[in-house]
Amino acid sequence: MKVIKQIGLGIFLVGFSVFTSAIFSGYFNFTQQELDSYVSEKGYKSERIKEELLKSIVTDEKLSILEFSSKVRAAFEISNNYHNALISKYSTEKNWAKKSEEFQYKISGKPHNLSFEIAKKAGKGFFKDQPTLAWWLTFGLGIFGALLFILPNAILLGKPGIKNDGIYHESATNRGFIAWLVLIYLVTFYLLLYFMPDYVVNWTFIFDPISKALNGGNASQWFVYGFLYCTIMLVMGVRMYIKYRHNKYQIVRTTSVIFFQIIFAFLIPEIMTSLNMPGYDFKSAFPLDYDFFFEWNLKNLQNSGAIGIFILVWGIILTLIIVPVMVYFFGKRWYCSWVCGCGGLAETLGDPYRQHSNKSLNAWKLERWLIHSVLLFSILMTVVTLYCYFSGTSSLLGIKSQWIKDTYSFLIGAWFAGVIGTGFYPIFGNRVWCRFGCPLAAYLGFVQRFKSRFRITTNGGQCISCGNCSTYCEQGIDVRAYAQKGENIVRSSCVGCGICSAVCPRGVLKLENGLEKGRINPTEILLGNDVDLMKLLNK
Amino acid sequence: MEHIVIIGNGIAGVTAARHIRKKSDKKITIISGESKYFFSRTALMYVYMGHLKFEHTQPYENWFWKKNNMNLIEGIVTKVDTDKKKLVLKDQTIISYDKLIIATGSKPNKFDWKGQDLKGVMGLYHKQDLESLEKYAPNTKVCQRAVIVGGGLIGIEMAEMLRSRKIPVTFLVRESSFWNGVLPNQESEMINNHILEHHIDLRLNNNLKEIIADENGLVKSIIIEETGEEIPCNVVGLTAGVSPNIDFLNESNIEIHRGVLVNRFLETNIKNVYAIGDCAEQKKAIGQRRPVEAVWYTGRMMGETVAQTICGNKTEYKPGHWFNSAKFLDIEYQTYGWVFSEKNKSENEWHFQWQHPSENKCITIAFDKISFEFLGINTFGIRMRHEIFDKWLSEKKSVEHVLEFLADANFDPEFYKTHEAEIVAKFNQEMDRNIQVKKKSWKRIFSKL
């Protein structure tokens, strides 16, 4: 069994290495003809960009993606600089006609994204030519190896029950060097994905056939990410099934998050796109879905006929009615640990790291400041956006709509939710984003704390203060602090993953949706002691 | 300002300190020779098993003590002079007190076995025992086999710990079946089998004769009393119960027997000196409880009670209905009220038992055979609600009532399979009754709130 595991790990690492090294494989260049057709397809009017691209990438030389990217970005920069210089020249000459004419030659877009688009056309080599084989060598080997590594645990871990032996002895799960390597890999991955997609263009070639089959178009970096996300959740979901096989709540919950990720977040939007509809994740609620009220989205939805209007109305009802009503009945867990994609990744890929969330009082203070600031930020951004959208202006109270959207997308959407939120799993725990950053979680938290039937019930006086519940709480809640006082746990941040209840050796904790009355039960003297004294002090 | 000195920072002492602080601004000093900060003794096993780090066993952050103005002293008390109200520590420091709480807990029992003080022989009680186990049994290389002597709660925990590092374990149990002085046979046998499932070499009816040393004074093997068999091993765990840790009081005026003798107000024979927790011995046993109760929960309850007395609200120690819990490897155990083993039960105590045909789940419900009053329940592999059983015990409900409303008492996580129907069907059949199981009702569950 152990040998099978080792072989599995080896196969996984091979697939993983092929996937990683794909970045540096293949080569990139254009022929004159390819360039011309690209420029006319994009409708670039500037002669200058044509010249620059001709000089730099129309070549027989086999350029690596790094060389290619820097040449393309330089070409766009030179071209745009050239036209900018003309614009300011005409401006000083007060030659307004010429100046406004000149604007059409400028090319907007982030340099790495422009480079990505060209690289997508200019790429050649193994991954472009043999996508199916490439898929098997990367994802195929990775999945097969990972399953070989995981499945023997069903036997190796022994009888069903809590399987936390050695977590604090292993480098990978005890913030050792393996954990740091994983952190560096994940952070780099997200930086490339968000900010330098052209560097990972080879990954997209692997998925062109699958993408074409699903939505009719070539794969973008987001398609790769979506597929990877689902794959990881499935494989690590298998690990969850084995690890928590004694606990039906965990089995059902894991199935639910995987279902919503694959069907709602991945397949339905892809199929909608193929049907010329706006691709929409019906479970993603504003303000987690922070660009729902952006002008481009509103316009897009309005121009998409009945389905667009349905999505618009659904999105608003989801946030304003469905989400809070469900939180009232079931707690925010129905979203955060049963449906949400971010939560889904945290509960599968992130499960081995859940013990690293900081339980100190200071961390709790930081959490409340940060998460509520992000909520305010997202609301402010949306107010400015909507005001500008309806009034036709470009700013509100001096805040420019474009600026605040860009700032939010960069700081919160990319850095906080992606790079930090997932990248920091191995060291800071698996719910960094959900705990400190998610504005939707903050909103659900208010409902859960003040108007909900959900609580974690403490079983009378049975707590022995061992600390398993607090240690394995991914949201950094000091569960023990309540349990050892005989108090129920009613906290806005609890996502209801149910692990505290699972790891409790004395059967003290139970997630329940009961009557609101008696949900919060402060106690001085614990159950089991003198009845009169309890009455006297617990009133 | 009155100075309260507490010897011992376990659950009893620390609970007392917290409650005194809640009610007063008295000066509080806590002395411990074991560790500066309070930790949960019951969680030590999880540190060795790698579920937790030691810091996770500390229920309060380190700033807590200063913020709440509790003075922590690391030291071992060697002498208590109740006339001068002074303590002497090992390093000769002298501490005066106005009121003294003795909460020094227990120490592992040793029965004068030959070789019981060798290197590699240890109990599992103190933080230092954990360190010693880490030293002598870090892995299978250093420790090729361990022998555990004494089949109680700590013994089975120690076996679980060692098995988590794949160390072969031989488990010597004096009784004919695991813990059958406390557990009814059905449950004791289920645990026997579960111990074997975990590949622990369980030796029932076996006692330790002696421990043999190698040339370096390390454990080499043990000899079994009954068979004379020699079992080579590197570590011996002595887990044959605990007794009050009160040797330092031998020279004092405080009256001691097995533990520090106290009355129902937890007062010793000396005014302003109290004893709580494992080290206290009730002069007269309370109800069916033992005079010395080395249990987490009773330590905590005594701490809650003595704080009231010290803060001027003189309060008798009146523990409510007995409850306890434990975990035997993978099997959780809870008990509410009194269920005695076949060995120790009275003639009037009848048992209704149910066992799952394939999983490790079973219950025993004890009731009076004449009045059918519910006396207590043992539940294995099924979690039950403390509050509900406490209420049923106070209201002296009948066993039929308990079975009818058993679903209210279930505390298993959501989506778990429930077994009330099978349990009640068995009862109906055995007792010729026709009880219908009531569906769970939130209203009833929270009716007393």
Residues A416-459 have pLDDT tens digits of: 988 998 999 999 999 999 999 999 999 999 999 999 999 999 99
CB nearest to A468's CB, from B52, B416, B417: B52
CA-based nearest distance A153→chain B, Å: 15
Q: What is the mean pLDDT of residues B48-69?
A: 96
Instruction: Name every chain A residue with its beta carbon within 8 A of the beta carbon of B334.
Output: 462, 506-507
CB nearest to B386's CB, from A460, A464, A505: A460
ipTM of the complex: 0.94
Q: Which residues pair with B223 in a beta bridge?
A: B210, B230
Least confidently predicted of A36-40, B148-152, B171-175: A36-40
Q: What is the DSSP letter of B42?
A: G
Q: Which residue of A has its CA nearest to B384?
A: A507
* Residue B374, Cβ density class (10 Å: 0-12 exposed, 13-18 middle, ≥19 buried): buried
Domain ranges of chain B: 3-107+243-310, 121-240, 323-438
Interatomic CA distance for residues A418 and A428, integer angstroms = 14
The answer to whether A386 and A293 are in contact (CB under 8 A) is yes
For chain B positions 157-186, those within 8 Å of chain A (CB to CB) are 164
| Interface probe with B: pick from A2, A157, A164, A168, most Cβ of B within 10 Å | A168
* Res A525: pLDDT: 85
Q: Which residue of A has its CA nearest to B56?
A: A467
B257 contacts: CB under 8 Å, gap ≥ 6: B281
The answer to whether A190 and A438 are in contact (CB under 8 A) is no
The answer to whether B116 and B231 are in contact (CB under 8 A) is no
- What is the average pLDDT value for chain B, to the nearest integer? 95
Q: Which residue of A has its CA nearest to B335?
A: A462
Q: Two tokens at B165?
A: 């590092």
Helix A111-122 to helix A201-215 angle (10° resolution) is: 70
Q: Two tokens at B381?
A: 């592999």
Looking at mean pLDDT, say which of A54-58, A279-283, B416-420 comes out highest. B416-420
- B57 and chain A in contact, CB less than 8 A: yes
CATH architecture, domain B3-107+243-310: 3-Layer(bba) Sandwich (3.50)
Interatomic CA distance for residues A352 and A344, integer angstroms = 14
Residue B364: what residue type?
Answer: T
> Alpha helices of B243-385 — where are they, by DSSP H?
296-310
Q: What is the mean pLDDT of residues A1-14?
A: 94
- A484 and chain B in contact, CB less than 8 A: yes
* Res A42: pLDDT: 85
> What CATH code is assigned to B121-240?
3.50.50.60
| Interface probe with A: pick from B67, B300, B328, B392, most Cβ of A within 10 Å | B300
Residue count of chain B: 449
- Signed CA dihedral, A141, A211, A292, A338: sign only: negative
* Percent of the residues in chain A that have a pLDDT greater than 90, as a whole number: 62
Contact check, Cβ <8 Å, B308/A161: no
Q: If we measure between CA atoms, which residue out of B128, B36, B126, B27 comes closest to residue B73?
A: B36
Confidence of residue B445 (pLDDT cuts 50, 70, 90): confident
Residue B157: half-sphere exposure toward Cβ, Cα within 13 Å: 23
Q: Two tokens at B369?
A: 């055979």
Q: What is the mean pLDDT of residues A165-178?
A: 94
Q: What is the DSSP letter of B437?
A: P
- B350 and chain A in contact, CB less than 8 A: no
CA-based nearest distance A467→chain B, Å: 6
- What is the average pLDDT value for chain A, to the nearest integer? 91
CB nearest to A525's CB, from B47, B304, B387: B304
Residues A95-140 have pLDDT tens digits of: 888 888 888 888 888 999 999 999 998 888 899 889 999 999 999 9
Residues B65-117 have pLDDT tens digits of: 999 999 999 999 999 999 999 999 999 999 999 999 999 999 999 999 999 99
For chain A positions 151-210, those within 8 Å of chain B (CB to CB) are 158-162, 164-170
CB nearest to B50's CB, from A165, A361, A527: A165
Same fold, B121-240 and B323-438: no
3-state secondary structure A477-505: CCHHHHHCCCCCECCCCCCCCCHHHHHCC
Contact check, Cβ <8 Å, B11/A465: yes
Least confidently predicted of A302-316, A477-491, B339-353: A302-316
Q: What is the mean pLDDT of residues A252-262?
A: 96
H/E stretch holding B332: strand B331-337
Q: Bigger pLDDT: A307 or B8?
A: B8
* Percent of the residues in chain B that have a pLDDT greater than 70, as a whole number: 100
CB atoms within 10 A of CB A222: 12
CB nearest to B415's CB, from A249, A457, A529: A249
* Res B449: pLDDT: 47
| Interface probe with B: pick from A167, A487, A530, most Cβ of B within 10 Å | A530
* Res A96: pLDDT: 85
- A502 and chain B in contact, CB less than 8 A: yes
* Res A504: pLDDT: 96
Q: Which residue of B has its CA nearest to A162?
A: B330
pTM: 0.93
The answer to whether B1 and B28 are in contact (CB under 8 A) is no
Contact check, Cβ <8 Å, B449/A470: no
pLDDT of residue A539 exceeding 80: no
* Res B409: pLDDT: 96
Contact check, Cβ <8 Å, A360/B61: yes
Residues A326-351 have pLDDT tens digits of: 999 999 999 999 999 999 999 999 99
Q: What is the mean pLDDT of residues B171-185?
A: 95
Q: Which residues pair with B398 in a beta bridge?
A: B373
Confidence of residue B448 (pLDDT cuts 50, 70, 90): low
* Res A47: pLDDT: 84
- Signed CA dihedral, B179, B183, B185, B190: sign only: negative
Confidence of residue A198 (pLDDT cuts 50, 70, 90): very high
Contact check, Cβ <8 Å, B414/A511: yes
Residues B354-407 have pLDDT tens digits of: 999 999 999 999 999 999 999 999 999 999 999 999 999 999 999 999 999 999
CA-based nearest distance A127→chain B, Å: 43
pLDDT of residue B447 exceeding 80: no
The answer to whether B125 and B41 are in contact (CB under 8 A) is yes
Q: Fold for domain B323-438?
A: Enolase-like; domain 1 (3.30.390)
